[in-house]
Amino acid sequence: MDAHHFLYLLLWIAIGYLSGSIPTGYLIGRLKGIDLTKTGSGSTGATNVLRKLGRGPALATFLIDILKGFLPTYFAMKLQDCTFIVTIVAVFCIIGHSKSVFLGFKGGKSSATGLGLLIALSWEVALITFLIWVIVVVVSKYSSLGSIISVPLAPVLLYLFHKPVLYIILTAFIAVYIVLIRHRENIQRLIVGTEPKIGS
């Protein structure tokens, strides 16, 4: 890889990471006088916003976090034909959301941002994944359980929809990251029965 291509790759990495790093929930919380990193679960995602600020701010956080993953991935797909760059952009959107440079490398669980990039890759897969998440959450009242069950199905669904192999590997990697790493404390609380339900 020559210097030109390396700088081009760095540009896309920066776009993905900085987009993901926009601390939506934190900024909305600060407008209400609340530092979400120091209350509730400490996450800046929509679930913690819902618990501490209510439905309106949570919905705004959810939608903006989706856009943080969708827009960079979508434009990466449209502006060049390199599947590898698309996967790199998507990965760094997720990393940016969970490890925001603006929050001392803290952030959210990345589920909404992951949904956004999935919409860019395949809206059909994104819709099915989201519907599974909704069903699990409505039945169980656990937002984390919805992600833990629905997210790992994304690479399987992409395979069924015959998307490029690299996209399937990408979503598998992100699924493992979101579910096993970002939700590890939620998994532990679910096992011992101390995970708070939505509305609690």
SS (H, E, C) 40-107: CCCCCCHHHHHHHHCHHHHHHHHHHHHHHHHHHHHHHHHHCCCHHHHHHHHHHHHHHHHCEHHHCCEC
Which DSSP state fits 36? Answer: G
Is residue 169, in this structure, part of any structural domain at all?
A: yes
Is residue 114, in this structure, part of any structural domain at all?
A: yes
Q: What angle in degrees, to the nearest 10, is found between the helix axes of 3-21 and 83-98?
A: 40
Is residue 197, in this structure, part of any structural domain at all?
A: no
The rounded mean pLDDT for the chain is: 90
Nearest to 50 by CA among 115, 125, 136, 108: 108
Is residue 199, in this structure, part of any structural domain at all?
A: no
* pLDDT confidence band for 108 (50 / 70 / 90): confident
Is residue 200, in this structure, part of any structural domain at all?
A: no
Q: What is the pLDDT of residue 1?
A: 62
Task: Compare 38 and 71 and report the one with higher pLDDT.
Answer: 71
Q: What is the pLDDT of residue 163?
A: 80
Is residue 63, in this structure, part of any structural domain at all?
A: yes
Is residue 122, in this structure, part of any structural domain at all?
A: yes
Structural domain of residue 154, as residue ranges? 3-192
CA distance 181 to 183: 6
Is residue 166, in this structure, part of any structural domain at all?
A: yes
pTM for the predicted model, two decimal places? 0.89
User: What are the percentages of helix, strand and coil residues in the chain, rounded to 5?
Assistant: 75, 0, 20
